[in-house]
Amino acid sequence: MRKKLAKKLKAKKEAIEIIPELLKKSKGSYKKGNKRLSKVQSKKIKYLSMKYKLKLPKDLKRQLCKNCGSILIPSVNCRVRLNKGRLISYCMECKKFTRMPLK
């Protein structure tokens, strides 16, 4: 039983290390013009966080579209606005927006 638990913890630590690298790769591939690869990598981030029950940091979570799962890069495929104390990010791929409160 302990071997199984140790194996799960090791996989969780590896996932924590992999997620920021995947984010960088996803941004790079999107900027190079490979949108499909970028979307696959960003969905992998979401999958790893759900599989290992990881809570993504706010800055990382705000870089992913909740609807289509693509990476959000301001002024490239995302429009960011401030309105009434809220940060509004508009995804230009799926035409959806998210409102996040600012403190």
Find the mean pLDDT for residues 64-76: 92
DSSP character for 72? P
pTM of the model: 0.82
Q: Six-digit token pair at 12?
A: 């969780």
Phi-psi region of 75 (alpha: psi -120 to 50; beta: other; left: phi over 0): left
DSSP character for 64? B
pLDDT at 2 over 90: no
Q: Six-digit token pair at 46?
A: 């979401």
Confidence label for 1 from pLDDT (cuts 50, 70 and 90): low
DSSP character for 83? E
What counts of helices (H) and strands (E) characterise the chain? 3, 3
